Structure 1
Amino acid sequence: MAEEKTEQTLLTAAVRVLKENFPAQRKQYIIALVAMVVVAAMASASAWIMKAIFDVLSNVPTAYPAPVVAGMVLGIFILKGAAGYTQSVYLSRAGNRVVARIQRDIYRKLLQQEAAWFDRTESSDILIRVTQSAQSARMMLDTIVTGFVRDALTLIGLVAVMVTQQALLSIVFLVIGPLALLGVRALLARVRKIMTAELASLTEILKVIQETSAGLRVVRAFGLEPILERRMDKAVRDVEKRSNSIVRLESVTAPMMDILAGGAIATIVLISGVSAGFGGTTTAGELMAFITALLMAYEPAKRLSRMRVSLESAFVGVQMMFEILDRPDSMADPADAVALPHGQGEVALRNVGFTYDGKRPILSDLTLVFAPGRTTALVGPSGGGKSTIMSLLLRLYDPTEGHVEIDGTDLRRITRRSLQQMTAFVGQNTFLFSSTVRENIRMGRLDASDADVERAARSAQAHDFIMALPSGYDTPVGENGIFLSGGQRQRLSLARAILKDAPILLLDEATSALDNDSEALVRDAIAEATRGRTTIIIAHRLSTVMGADDIAFIEGGRLIEQGPLRELLERPGKFAALFNKEVSGKAPAGAEAEAVVEEALF
């Protein structure tokens, strides 16, 4: 019963791979299939012509003239060569297009997944699925097409030649040949198990490489090279071991076929010899054509016997591919989604509850309104939920309870595109694309001119350091801006947001990586950029708090108090108590006071 379920699952996957990929590339596949039919026909003709060749060489009176036989031989091999070339080119072209289409489809599907899925799925696992799965689908397609067309037709044609030349001897081959399939069935379960483990080891290799690249400073600072080397050595050994196991399992069919083929040929020679001794009517040419067909049938028969093993190897990757492609588009717009109309820009969280893991609440019954056209600073202890609020406003996640709204419209009811047009974001952990300075800023508005890009850079106080770079705005920044300092990366990120010119601006401590001088310059740029916009800032510096129109103190996922700075200081509350204790009671005014507040609050 288990075997029947496995076969049905493999059959379903194979049918689906064919159904979803063959029609789009049918022109290439049809040409390849026609070429395979010609290859199969010429293989049979190659065996059949051996009788005519042997008859000519043996001076049989009924033989075809030698020039005719020579022309036939030449024609057969020319057709076979041309068809083989056509088959290879068009099959490869179709396979490459299938891989490209699948990789594009998987990537589009990834873009439609919620942030929570990326949180729980390692990037190395995603990379394996995008690369290996597409290749597995191609391998399955190629195996099915070549096996059921080229190899099957070749074998059928050669068996036909054998039967027409020697019907009795062909029975021996047809009885012994299928015995190989019984041995192959015993290998299938092990093949799938080993391939699953091998993909897990490949994922571990990618993970170690990614962690080494991203965390090189930590690795060097703590002397972690030996640990990573051991992890890599184990992963590589596992892949090597399982690859060898797969090779052994795939190769075991060859000696099985060799032994069976040798037994078949030995039996046939014995029978033909005995038959000739008793006055059999078999001619030397017929026997030569039969043996040639028998020997040529060996390779396609061997490939067909191994086809199931190859399909099992590809099946694991195909399953991983379908796991991604069959996921629902959790971030897709609902059918009744509407474009967010232009409004005042009021942002509100109403009775919002949220949890990442379904157990520990991060936000609890939070109602918080951000007034349009004003700057609101989110302050409070670390872990209180400030960054989660930002993620909900960007709709990286949807609230577990309650609603997140812009101008009274639930974000779940508006199109994602219109939300993206309404918001601009600068994060504390800045991200830059592996491109030039100019292109990174232009990501804020793709149709922006070079002059627009430069104006945004000037507003973010980035123009001067950009011009000092080797190629100015055309200088590559490296992977995630590795060639730039933290402050430079943050200013480019701010320039990108300024260029977008969105009515709602979200700043997750946009000045955290700047020194005091740069921070003072960028603060002026932020003040200019936030004028007339609804701005929400996660504030880790007192200067940011004091520049905000309103302050919202968040603790334990709840709004403790909200209001202008002066109002909060004039009434008893957590913010006023902490402010008075750390600034008025312990430190003088100025930079030292700011440092005290930063240390106490954050």
Structure 2
Amino acid sequence: MRLLHDNFRKHAFWYICAILSMLVISATTGASAWIMRDVVNHIIEAKDFKIIAMVSVGVAVIFIVKGFSTFAQSYFLSKAGNSIVAEQQRRIYSRLMQQGVAFYQNTSSSDLLVRVTQNANAARSIIDTIVTTFVRDLFSVISLLAVMLYQNFLLSIVALAVGPLAFIGVRQVLKRVRGLMEKELSSIAEIIKVMQETTIGIRVIKAFSLEELMKRRMDKAITDVEMRSNGIAMLESATNPIMETLAGVAIAVVICFSGYMATQRVGVQGELMSFIVALLLAYEPAKRVANVRVKIESGMIGVRMMFEILDHPLTLMEKENPVDLDRSKGDVRLEHVGFSYVKDHMVLHDINLDIPAGKMTALVGPSGSGKSTMINLIMRLYDPQEGRILIDGQDIRDVSFKSLRELMSYVGQDTFLFQGSVRYNIGLGREGATEEEIEQVAKLANAHDFIMELPNGYDTDVGDNGGNLSGGQKQRIAIARAMLRNSEILILDEATSALDSESESLIKEALARLTTNRTTIVIAHRLSTISRADKIVVMKNGKIVEQGTQHQLLQIEGGLYKHLHDLQFKDPDFDDIDHVETSSKNQKKIAK
């Protein structure tokens, strides 16, 4: 009912056109059975050519009207159905865009792909089935039944006796369809998952010779889909022998009985012929009406999954009447902030921190200390369970997502580029940017020279997630994108990590331009990258343990920052503090 309510009314015009066409088809189907009486009585018995010509014209008109009505039904139904698929896909994607990051961490991308593609088509399929079955097929059966009852009431009762038996048989089939459909959809999601992992991780697959393993995974997923599809096909087909057997018995009895009546009475041949034709024509639509529950139940699994996405509570909600964030200085303040991804397991504990406007603040500390979580909260990808975060004195929970995100730029270690050209990816930094502005920021990001060496310059396709570019090239495009945004707050998640020396030097130079007079928050793994930071915040186990300039922190004897600094600069090969354990036993192992 919800499916029909949400979709049928919006596309009522096309469905009404299709329904009217179906009613005409039903009427012409009944008329084609009715006219058989005149064919027999006037052509075979009367032998009147004038009447024969009129009956012939009538037959032609019936089938011409039926042909055009069938075309109209198919066209209008397809038009409405295609619109429903498009609308459902837009609704699902719009809902996904409203969800917070937590939703995506708990939901596999392959599952979402199935819901956006297959489930939207399931919605269309069910509505088409309902409309065609309960309008065209049902009214065809009714019109033909009316012909049968009019021509011979007793034979009609005999023919209708098979209905209850057919209903019982279909109910038994219906019980098993639902479970098989759920398993089939999960197997389709597994196929998509394997394909995603293959395209994204092809280098790892090749490097570790995992081709056979991936083929076995894909083979199992495909086999599961094949087996379940065969099971569903068997169940859907199981109604056929039930209906064929019952219909065959009914038709045989009717023919035998009508033959006996024809031998006893004269002048009933036309009526009997009309009755038998109506009975035979009613068989196919009656079978479809009997099977409609099986078809609907097969599609309803996908529809339920679609509504699960649409009804899933938002993991992060904008305030009902949010205000726009005033774009002024870019001062950030965290007050008594506490946060947990999992209930009763706090990641941040009572964080109080001032991040001054126009200055660089660096976050350092071992893995799991809460650095990335703090950035996620400042960007409002999550909301803290305790405390609040202020930007220029405004609680970020009171402001609109759009005004908050416009205030920030982000450059991460794992740069993500969208499918499209270099120009397109840089231009995403600010909608409506001119070509001159795009090229200007590319020059500031030390990206212009390598871009001009690409086959098509700024129009070169970057490939899937920038697969046609090197890591340093991708980072410089990301920096150009951030420069184009020209936001007050810049967030850097170790933008120079894992790069060669030449790329690192170029990117450091670009970042120096980007961070000038801008509130900059940096997650640092290499301490050499934050030597010029105005404030360094040292974290451990979700708490701030030290903060100050590098000079101040190096004066603290036994301090964590001094220890990390000594480890990194005494051992030239050791440059990643993100995996440092702070226990004395592990420190000795790492130093050794």
TM-score range (shorter-chain normalised) is over 0.9
User: Which residue of 504, 508, 515 maps to 1:519?
Assistant: 504
Answering whether residue 159 of structure 2 is matched by residue 196 of structure 1, we say: no
1:437 aligns with 2:422: yes
Matched, 1:345 2:330: yes
User: 2:61 corresponds to which letter in structure 1?
Assistant: G
Instruction: Report the equivalent of 1:450.
Output: 435
Tell whether 2:336 aligns with 1:361.
no
Report if aligned partners of 1:52, 1:63 keep a CA contact under 8 Å in 2. Answer: no
Report how far residue 48 of structure 1 moved: 0.7
Structure 1 CA distance for aligned equivalents of residues 368 and 80 of structure 2: 52
Q: Displacement, 1:112?
A: 0.9
Find the residue that maps to 1:502 and give its secondary structure.
coil
Secondary structure in 2 matching 1:483: coil
The question of whether the paired residues in 2 share the 8 Å contact of 1:570 and 1:576 is answered with no
Kept in 2: contact 1:507–1:538 (CA 8 A): yes
Shift of 1:522: 2.2
1:459 aligns with one of 427, 444, 457: 444
- Would you say 1:24 and 2:45 are equivalent positions? no
CA RMSD in angstroms, aligned pairs only: 1.7
SS at structure 2 position matched to 1:168 = helix
Partner Cα separation in structure 1 for residue 136 and residue 514 of structure 2: 67
Match of 2:491, SS state, is: strand
- Aligned partner (choices 476, 481, 489) of residue 474 of structure 2: 489
Counterpart position of 2:63? 77
Equivalent AA in structure 2 for residue 236 of structure 1: I
Match of residue 292, structure 2, among 287, 303, 307: 307
1:498 Cα deviation (Å)?
Answer: 0.6
CA contact (8 A) 1:363 1:385 kept: yes
For 1:263-282, what aligned pairs fall within 5 Å after superposition?
263-277=249-263, 279-280=264-265
Match of 2:391 in 1: 406
Distance in 2 (CA, whole Å) between partners of 1:600 and 1:90 is 61
Write the distance in 1 (CA, Å) between the matches of 2:498 and 2:56: 82
Deviation at 1:250, TM superposition (A): 0.8
Structure 1 position 214, deviation (Å): 1.1
Q: Distance in 1 between matches of 2:199 and 2:63?
A: 54
In the alignment, the residues of structure 2 paired with residue 489 and residue 235 of structure 1 have an alpha-carbon distance, to the nearest angstrom, of 35
| 2:26 counterpart letter in structure 1 | A
Q: Deviations over 1:433-471 (max 9, x none)?
A: 000000000000011100100111111111111000000
Aligned mates of 1:276, 1:410 — CA distance in 2? 91
- Give deviations 1:264-287, integer Å, cap 9, x for gaps: 11111222233334x336611111
User: How far apart are residue 314 of structure 1 and its match?
Assistant: 0.7
Q: Is the 8 A contact 2:568 2:577 kept in 1?
A: no
- Give 1:253's aligned residue: 239
Give the Cα–Cα distance (whole angstroms) in 1 for the partners of residues 200 and 33 of structure 2: 61
Measure the CA separation in 1 of the matches of 2:470 and 2:44.
86
- Partner residue of 1:539? 524
CA contact (8 A) 1:490 1:513 kept: no
Aligned length: 580
TM-score (norm 1): 0.93
User: Does the aligned pair in 1 maintain the 2:262–2:269 contact within 8 Å?
Assistant: no
Contact 1:40–1:154 (CA<8 Å) still a contact in 2?
A: yes
* CA gap 1:146/1:546 in 2 versus in 1, 3 angstroms: same
Seen in structure 2, the aligned counterparts of structure 1 residues 296 and 601 have a Cα distance that, compared at 3 Å, is: closer
**Superposed, which structure 2 residues align to 1:555-574 within 5 Å?**
555-572=540-557, 574=559
Query: Aligned letter for 2:499?
Result: L
- What is the identity, as a one-letter code, of the residue corresponding to 2:251? I
- CA shift at 1:521, angstroms? 2.6
Q: Which residue of 1 aligns with 2:567?
A: 582
- Contact 1:354–1:364 at 8 Å: present in 2 too? yes
Question: Any idea what SS the aligned residue of 1:467 has?
Answer: helix
Given the alignment, which residue of 423, 426, 436 partners 2:411?
426
Q: How far does the alpha carbon of each residue in 1:273-316 deviate from its partner, in whole angstroms, 9 at most, with x for none?
A: 33334x33661111111100000000000100110000100111
Does the alignment pair 1:215 with 2:211? no
Q: Percent identity?
A: 49
Q: Name the CA distance, whole Å, in 2 between partners of 1:209 and 1:583.
A: 40
Q: Secondary structure at the match of 2:240?
A: helix
Q: Find the counterpart in structure 2 of residue 5 from structure 1.
A: none
CA distance in 1, matches of 2:544, 2:564: 18
CA distance in 1, matches of 2:196, 2:234: 31
Unaligned 5+ segments in structure 1 are 1-14
Instruction: Find 1:163's aligned residue among 149, 162, 168.
Output: 149
Whole-angstrom distance in 1 between the partners of 2:52 and 2:500? 93
**Which amino acid is 1:99 matched to?**
V
Q: Distance in 2 between matches of 1:280 and 1:600?
A: 100
Please say if residues 475 and 507 of structure 2, whose CA atoms lie closer than 8 Å, have aligned partners that are also in contact. no
Aligned equivalent of 1:292: 277
Note the C-alpha offset of 1:385: 1.2
Do 2:442 and 2:448's aligned partners in 1 also have CA atoms closer than 8 Å?
A: yes
Look up the match of 2:588: none
Whether 1:99 and 2:85 are equivalent positions in the alignment is yes
Q: How far apart are the structure 2 equivalents of 1:235 and 1:288?
A: 54
Is contact 2:337–2:386 with CA below 8 Å preserved after alignment?
A: yes
Instruction: Give the whole-Å Cα distance in 1 for the aligned partners of 2:567 and 2:314.
Output: 49
| CA distance 1:178–1:64, change in 2 (3 Å) | farther
Query: Structure 2 CA distance, aligned partners of 1:348 and 1:64?
Result: 98
TM-score (norm 2): 0.95
Contact 1:52 / 1:64 at 8 angstroms: preserved in 2?
Answer: no
**Cα separation, 2, equivalents of 1:377 and 1:78:** 79
Alignment of 1:29-48 (within 5 A): 29-48=15-34
Where structure 2 has 5 or more consecutive residues not aligned to the other structure, the ranges are 581-592
Q: Counterpart in 2 of 1:11?
A: none
Q: Is the 8 A contact 2:27 2:140 kept in 1?
A: yes
**1:4 alignment counterpart:** none
Name which of structure 1's ranges 95-104 and 556-565 shifts more when overlaid on structure 2: 556-565
Partner secondary structure for residue 304 of structure 2: helix
User: Relative to 1, partners in 2 of residues 1:282 and 1:370: Cα closer, same or farther, differing over 3 Å?
Assistant: farther
Name the residue aligned to 1:329. 314
Question: Structure 1 residues 583 and 99, CA, compared in 2 at 3 Å: closer, same or farther?
Answer: closer
Q: CA deviation at 1:580?
A: 6.1
Cα distance in 1, alignment partners of residues 558 and 426 from structure 2: 42
Q: Residue 379 of structure 1 is aligned with which of 354, 364, 370?
A: 364
DSSP-derived class of the 2:88 partner: helix
Deviations 1:66-105 (A, max 9, x none): 1111111111010000000010011011101000000000
Query: Cα offset for 1:123?
Result: 0.5
- CA separation of 1:599/1:532 partners in 2, compared to 1, >3 Å: closer, same or farther? closer
Shift of 1:329: 3.5
Q: Could you tell me how far 1:598 is from its partner in structure 2?
A: 4.0
- Distance between the aligned counterparts of 1:466 and 1:34, measured in 2? 60
Quote the offset at 1:513 in angstroms: 4.1
Q: In structure 1, what is the Cα distance between the partners aligned to 2:484 and 2:186?
A: 43
**Could you say what secondary structure the match of 2:366 adopts?**
coil
Distance 2:26 2:431 in 1: 54
Question: Hey, what's the Cα distance between the residues in 2 that align with 1:273 and 1:451?
Answer: 90
Q: Distance in 2 between matches of 1:576 and 1:284?
A: 105
Please say if residues 487 and 513 of structure 1, whose CA atoms lie closer than 8 Å, have aligned partners that are also in contact. no
Query: Secondary structure of 1:349's partner?
Result: strand
Q: Give 1:469's aligned residue.
A: 454
What is the rounded CA distance, in whole Å, between the counterparts of 1:460 and 1:572 in structure 2? 39
2:164, 2:277 → 1: CA distance? 20
Distance 1:404 1:600 in 2: 25
- Cα shift at 1:182: 0.7
Q: Is the 8 A contact 2:336 2:388 kept in 1?
A: yes
CA contact (8 A) 1:37 1:150 kept: yes
Q: Give the aligned residue type for 1:131.
A: T
Work out whether residues 370 and 541 of structure 2, in 8 Å CA contact, stay in contact via their aligned partners in 1. Answer: yes
Partner AA of 2:280 in structure 1: L
